[in-house]
Amino acid sequence: MSDLPPDLDRLRTLETWLSLSLKRVREQIAAAERPVQPRRSPRPPATARAAVPRRERTPDWGISSAGIGAPVAEIHRGDCFAGGAMQPLSAERARAELAEGVQACGVCRPDRVLNRS
């Protein structure tokens, strides 16, 4: 007999909670693994800050490659923590990949959003 709830709504709620909990644990691990940084000097003037390159925008959609630890390629939302290193995709390309049989991530469920259009 399973200790999991029998209905889909509670199973989805549990899935969401576990995903969020796993994300928090991974963030804590990353923080613990980071070397201790020395204290920084005061912020540089605004002119120096403007020269700093901007961080790349998170893509809306991505595909993770099959490989070690990932038996098949999957389509993910761009902000999905389960995606790991992803290749950015347009929404149209992500829809086409799903139509061709590429699996949708079970955590972020991009098929729910992409198939609405």
Average confidence score pLDDT of the chain? 81
The mean-pLDDT minimum among 17-26, 65-74, 103-112 falls in 65-74
Q: Is residue 23 part of a domain?
A: no
The span from the CA of 50 to the CA of 18, in Å, is: 40
Model's pTM, two decimal places?
A: 0.48
Q: Is residue 37 part of a domain?
A: no
Q: Is residue 39 part of a domain?
A: no
For 10-36, the DSSP string reads HHHHHHHHHHHHHHHHHHHHHHHHSPP
What pLDDT does 22 receive? Answer: 94
Q: What is the pLDDT of residues 92-111, one digit of tens each?
A: 999 998 899 888 988 899 88
- List of E strands, the chain: 61-64, 74-77, 86-89, 103-104
Q: How many folded domains does the chain comprise?
A: 1
Q: Is residue 68 part of a domain?
A: yes
Residue of 23, 30, 22, 114 whose CA lies nearest to 77: 114
